[in-house]
Structure 1
Amino acid sequence: MMARKILSITLICLLMVFVNACSQETNGKDSVPSVVDKVQKNKKLVVGTAPGYFSFEMLDKKGNYLGYDMDLGRAIAKSLGVKVEFKQYKFEALIPALQTGEIDMVIAATTIRGDRAKAVSFSDPYYATGQVLLVSSKDTTSKSYQDFDKEGKKIGAQQGTTGSLYAKGGFKKATIVDFDDYAEAVMALQKGDLDAVIFDEPLVRMTEKMQKGVRGIYELASKENLGVMVPHGDLQTVQWLNSFLYEYLGSTEELASQEKWFKDFDWINDVKQ
């Protein structure tokens, strides 16, 4: 009987040691600080973005941030009860800025991809889009992205984007030319230096409305979902974002944002070109 009691006490002690070790591992040096906790403590959410992507993130002529993604960032901050600050970066600099703690999250129409998920953690998708082509309006015969996968064809893309990644893997015969930003690629197309530019459908549609001499080919070359990026392994913030998006998407506020940025276009003349 005494031996059984000793054995029971020993097992209880071992269990307590195990639980304590697990707790230390979870809360120790290897744990990822929660962005939600940090933001609420600082009473400010710092969002990294890359203005220039119509209709998601833009600057008006006074330097104010606007667009569908900016509405999303403000809605997140409002839900957390904090102020929001947007910081501008080149698209390829956003993940390094997130990793070094310069920003709390990235909202920049970023496609959820496996290679990126090695460096950051993503929320659930908040918008679905796809890659299409912008071509010269002088080209009246091309109807499909497949018409451009030929020797001698040049397709422009913005460096570091999903369009660039897809073009280099999806087009076997065409030459892919990377540019620092989308606007430079469009200018090259208008000058006749390119046969097409590959980019996300919403911006191609905007470009067709705003620029002369170009048209879109809207057969999707690829499909992708957009997500919010947070520091890698911050599961608490991911869980919070997913719960927020579940409530926000389809709400009156979000539907009004969609209507404003993707359908009305009354804001075009206010945007810095």
Structure 2
Amino acid sequence: MKKTVSALLLILVLIIAGCSNNDGGGAGTTEKSTLKNIQDKKKLVVGIAPGYFPFEMKSTEGGYVGYDIDLANAVGEWLKVDVEFKQFVFDGLVPALQTGEVDMVIAGMTIRGDRALAVGMSDPYYKTGQAIMVPAANKDVKSWEELDVKGKKIAVGVGTTGALLAKSQFKNAEVVDFEDFPLAATAMGSGQADAVVYDEPAIAVWRLEHEGQVHQVEGLLSAENLGIAVKKNDFETLQWLNSFLHGYIDSPEELESRTRWFEESDWLTKVTED
């Protein structure tokens, strides 16, 4: 009987000790959040995929510009830390986040259930959708069904929501992956594809750049929300980001950024598609 009581007491002590080590991060982990790591090192490393106009682009003077770049810099200002941008092919952003090569991904990333299995996604910071672009000579095309024909080729950016949507929706046309949107659009312009499926804002900018050469099919294939990605289960960082976004969206700073990149076009001569 005494041995049984002693054993029970020992188990109770171990349970209490285990609970006392739990900091609320789950499974008794003491790993610091990304937010705390950023504050400790006084630097925020952001993963981007330039070529997504007007969200992130390379400047002709060097460096990066765009709506997402402004957003990342605003995050850095609020945290009072430096901001470093690391460039990847879009498909490489999630792996870079998972391995700790970047602290966050701010790259026009659509909030999706499958992504939420791999990373944490913030509240939306921009609403958009997938659109179809065709050469101006095919401006009579009214719907995606007219393009879903054997022998037709649909260009997409590898790993993007547009790529996933096109591959599930087009049953007869061939969906062809390209490294990014500019390469997909250029391929269409040179006759290697019959259409491009991509985010509507980027297609709108491409139309401005190539006036009279391309046409956007009326309507959207989908409606989507863009969010900031962080490591999975990093709830402290997500909570801070969501609070930040509620204060940033529709602020004078954000409205100025939105106007510059989505309503004006003078910046087109100051960025490069390479």
Structure 1 length as normaliser, TM-score? Answer: 0.90
Correspondence for 2:229: 229
1:57 corresponds to? 56
Q: What is aligned with 2:247? A: 247
Cα gap change, 1:188/1:80 in structure 2, threshold over 3 Å: closer, same or farther?
Answer: same
**2 CA distance for matches of 1:260 and 1:169?**
35
| 2:265 alignment counterpart | 265
**In terms of mean alpha carbon deviation, does 119-128 or 23-32 score higher?**
23-32
Give the alignment's Cα RMSD to 1 decimal.
2.0
The CA deviation string for residues 251-271 of structure 1, in whole angstroms up to 9 with x for no partner, is: 111111100000011111000
Q: 1:246 and 1:267, CA in 2 relative to 1: closer, same or farther beyond 3 A? A: same
Partner of 2:95: 96
Q: Deviations over 1:29-79 (max 9, x none)?
A: 745531110011111111110111100001111212110000000111111
Q: Name the SS of the counterpart of 2:263 in structure 1.
A: helix
Post-superposition, which runs of at least 4 consecutive aligned residues in structure 1 deviate over 3 A? 16-20, 25-32
**Partner of 1:157: helix, strand, or coil?**
strand
Residue 156 (structure 1) shift:
0.7
Residue 17 of structure 1 and its aligned partner are, at CA, apart by 6.1
Q: Displacement, 1:222?
A: 1.1
Matches for 1:156-167 after TM superposition, within 5 Å = 156-167=155-166
Gaps of 5+ in 1: 1-9
Partner amino acid, structure 1, of 2:146: D
Aligned partner letter, 1:125: P
Percent identity, aligned pairs only? 48
Give the Å deviation of 1:161: 0.5
Correspondence for 1:176:
175
SS of 2:142 mapped into structure 1: coil
Question: For residues 17 and 62 of structure 1, what CA distance do their matches in structure 2 show?
Answer: 61
Match of 1:21 in 2: 18
TM-score by length of 2: 0.90
Give the Cα–Cα distance (whole angstroms) in 1 for the partners of residues 100 and 243 of structure 2: 24
Worse-matched range after superposition: 184-193 or 23-32? 23-32
Aligned partners of 2:81, 2:104: CA distance in 1, in Å?
14
The CA deviation at 1:145 is 2.1
Aligned residue for 1:151, secondary structure, equals: coil
* Deviation of 1:18 (Å): 4.5
Say which is worse superposed, 181-190 or 28-37, in terms of deviation.
28-37
Contact between 2:127 and 2:224, CA under 8 Å: does it hold in 1? yes
Q: In structure 2, what is the Cα distance between the partners aligned to 1:53 and 1:39?
A: 26
- Cα distance between partner residues in 1 of 2:80 and 2:114: 33
- Give the conservation status (yes or no) of the 8 Å contact 2:18–2:28: no
**Partner residue, 1:42:** 41
In structure 2, C-alpha distance between the alignment counterparts of 1:138 and 1:31, rounded to whole Å: 60
Structure 2 letter corresponding to 1:124: D
Amino acid at match of 1:250: D
Aligned residues: 263
Contact 1:135/1:215, CA 8 A, preserved across alignment: yes
2: CA distance, partners of 1:261 / 1:77: 20
Residue matched to 1:84: 83
Q: How does 1:101-250 map onto structure 2 within 5 Å?
A: 101-212=100-211, 213-250=213-250
Task: Give the partner amino acid of 2:195.
Answer: A
The alignment partner of 1:205 has SS state of: helix
* Whole-angstrom CA distance in 1 between matches of 2:135 and 2:241: 40
- Change in Cα spacing, 1:91 to 1:32, as seen in structure 2 (3 Å) is farther
| Cα separation, partners in 2 of 1:173 and 1:80, compared to 1, 3 Å | same
Q: For structure 2, list consecutive stretches of 5 or more residues without a partner in the other structure.
A: 1-7
